[in-house]
Amino acid sequence: MARRHLIIGGGTAGMNAMRTIREEETERSTITLVSAEKPYSRMVLPYYLDRSIAESHVFTATARVLADWGVTTHLGKRATALDTKTNVCTLDDGTAVEYDDCLIATGSSAVRAPVPGADGPGVHSFWTLEQARGVLGQIRPGSHVVMVGAGFIAFTILNSILSLGAKLTIVEVAPRILPRMIDDTGAALVQTWLEKNGVAVRTGAKLTRIDEVKGRRRLKMAAGGDLVADVVIMATGIRTNLAWLNGSEVKINQGVVVDDHLRSSVPNVYAAGDVAEGRDLISQTNAVHAIEPTAQEHGRIVGANMAGKDVRYRGSLIINIVEVCHLDVASFGAWDDAKAETMSGVKADRPAYRKLLWRGDRLTGAIILGPSTDIWTTNDVGMLKGLVQSGISLGAWKAHLKKNPFDIKPAFIATKTTSTLLPETILGRPSKAPGESPVAV
Ligand SMILES: Cc1cc2nc3c(=O)[nH]c(=O)nc-3n(C[C@H](O)[C@H](O)[C@H](O)COP(=O)(O)OP(=O)(O)OC[C@H]3O[C@@H](n4cnc5c(N)ncnc54)[C@H](O)[C@@H]3O)c2cc1C
């Protein structure tokens, strides 16, 4: 069994891996963590932005916790090279760390639209804590914020920007908002909802440059109608942090290609989270899912395997859930599968929308939206996720859902989906009550 574990990246995947190694190992090993940033959760940054949590609450492990776990840390340092022949990782200060096995969990970084002025003052990304500090320091009540990009991450911070009293305009180059999360029908309903809530939305709008004019930013749009902003947030995508692996033996496609144990092409090198191209639960093909649940599950699986267990991963489910101005919007699994049989229903006045995608009598994907105040929206979000995740056979309930795609609950209960899902745990063993750790594991 490997005695010296090296974890590169202290985000969600890295933290879950370290915790799981300690839970699962039979003999105490050494763990070394190299991380460019102190461990924190990016997913809670929207709550830091709207000031509902203090900055100290974004961190996932203090120095004390890491010391209690017996982890040797190199924080604020970057891995710059991995020699998989000698099992040595080199850091940006020249330190060489030897390992028996290692985990690549270096996540992703925000990418800005390639236009002149994109790196100028007053133009921000929102991916790291430092960037969140920059945005928080600039938004004042009445500020005009222009968000470039209308993807999932942009939508996670939309409520926070509004709660700071800012005026918000969203600019999206694609013909619709949330292009990688929901379909045309859903996007049109969400856009109308946002506009009713005072958010200006421009789709099919191409930004060509950003200039500074008297301390403000002027955004030049290809079709005219330039915008003037106090703060610009570029939510224009992310890129995996893998350039440092150039020249290593590790096979990279969109991300680090991993097998069903999350091992890379080099058997003692694992990858997890945003950087890993692992199995998708529905298609059973490899994909990069840059989402929190995948990073958590990957981290758990890798941690167990590093600790000497033999845990196979069934694959990760795409889960996108966001709430904007009290409208819940979610999609699961293969929501955009053009070959699937689909059924849908719209109640434009609520607004409410359900789209169900089928392979045979199993749900393989779903889109759902509706007001958060409608209890059935919130319930259906959870039940649809459960039906897609379990892959349960719906039999005659398929015909029922075809007639009424809003009536999810009877199908969910009759097929005993809860009792199918409840015993399933990621490590294939029953969960243990909280002991030393604050949560059940
Ligand atoms: C504002 C915001 C909201 C989000 N909301 C959601 C949400 O609601 N739902 C959801 O599913 N997902 C959400 N996400 C995405 C989610 O946070 C990521 O998918 C998740 O953090 C990925 O975890 P990870 O461990 O792979 O990478 P990260 O959490 O990004 O951690 C990577 C770590 O590696 C370090 N690192 C990078 N390069 C190096 C290097 N060369 N050497 C050493 N260390 C390095 C980084 O500093 C970082 O500590 C959100 C993200 C943001 C920014």
Each residue's pLDDT tens digit, 138-184: 999 999 999 999 999 999 999 999 999 999 999 999 999 999 999 99
User: Phi/psi of residue 375, each to 5°?
Assistant: -60, -35
Which of 274, 319, 331, 332 for mutating ligand 1's site (highest number of atoms within 8 Å of CB)?
A: 274
Q: Where are the beta strands (DSSP E) in 173-263?
A: 200-203, 207-213, 216-221, 227-229, 231-234, 238-240, 256-257
Which is the closest atom of ligand 1 to the Cα of 244? 41
H/E run at residue 101: strand 101-104
Query: Looking at residue 430, what is its pLDDT?
Result: 74
Would you tell me how many other CB atoms lie within 10 Å of the CB of residue 324? 22
Query: Looking at residue 436, what is its pLDDT?
Result: 63
Query: Looking at residue 375, what is its pLDDT?
Result: 87
Q: Rounded to the nearest whole angstrom, what is the distance from the C-alpha of residue 106 to the centroid of ligand 1? A: 8
Report CA torsion sign: 123, 127, 133, 139. positive
Q: Rounded to the nearest whole angstrom, what is the distance from the C-alpha of residue 42 to the centroid of ligand 1? A: 6
Query: Looking at residue 438, what is its pLDDT?
Result: 57
Q: Rounded to the nearest whole angstrom, what is the distance from the C-alpha of residue 342 to the centroid of ligand 1? A: 33
Q: Rounded to the nearest whole angstrom, what is the distance from the C-alpha of residue 31 to the centroid of ligand 1? A: 21
Which of 126, 292, 322 for mutating ligand 1's site (highest number of atoms within 8 Å of CB)?
A: 292
Query: Looking at residue 431, what is its pLDDT?
Result: 73
User: Phi/psi of residue 220, each to 5°?
Assistant: -85, 125
Q: Yes or no: say if 318 and 181 are a contact pair by the CB < 8 Å rule.
A: no
Which is the closest atom of ligand 1 to the Cα of 79? 42
Low-confidence stretches of the chain (pLDDT beneath 50): none
Tokens of 403: 């007639």
pTM: 0.96
Closest CA relative to residue 184, chosen from 294, 342, 307, 359: 342
Which is the closest atom of ligand 1 to the Cα of 319? 11
Q: What is the CA radius of gyration of the chain?
A: 23
Query: Looking at residue 429, what is its pLDDT?
Result: 80
Assign residue 84 a region: left if phi > 0, alpha if psi is -120 to 50, beta otherwise?
Answer: alpha
pLDDT digits (tens, 9 = 90+) for 93-150: 999 999 999 999 999 999 999 999 999 999 999 999 999 999 999 999 999 999 999 9
Closest CA relative to residue 289, chosen from 13, 14, 92, 29: 13
Q: Rounded to the nearest whole angstrom, what is the distance from the C-alpha of residue 60 to the centroid of ligand 1? A: 12
Q: Rounded to the nearest whole angstrom, what is the distance from the C-alpha of residue 175 to the centroid of ligand 1? A: 28
Report CA torsion sign: 82, 12, 2, 6. positive
Closest CA relative to residue 60, chosen from 235, 296, 240: 296
Which is the closest atom of ligand 1 to the Cα of 293? 11
Q: Cα separation of 271 and 255, whole Å?
A: 9
Which is the closest atom of ligand 1 to the Cα of 241? 38
Would you tell me how many other CB atoms lie within 10 Å of the CB of residue 109? 16
Name every protein residue with a CB atom under 6 angstroms from any ligand 1 atom: 8-14, 34-37, 42-43, 45-46, 78-79, 105-108, 126-127, 153, 156-157, 241, 244, 273-274, 290-293, 295
Report which protein residue has its CA nearest ligand 1's atom 14.
Answer: 43
Which is the closest atom of ligand 1 to the Cα of 46? 1
Query: Looking at residue 261, what is its pLDDT?
Result: 98
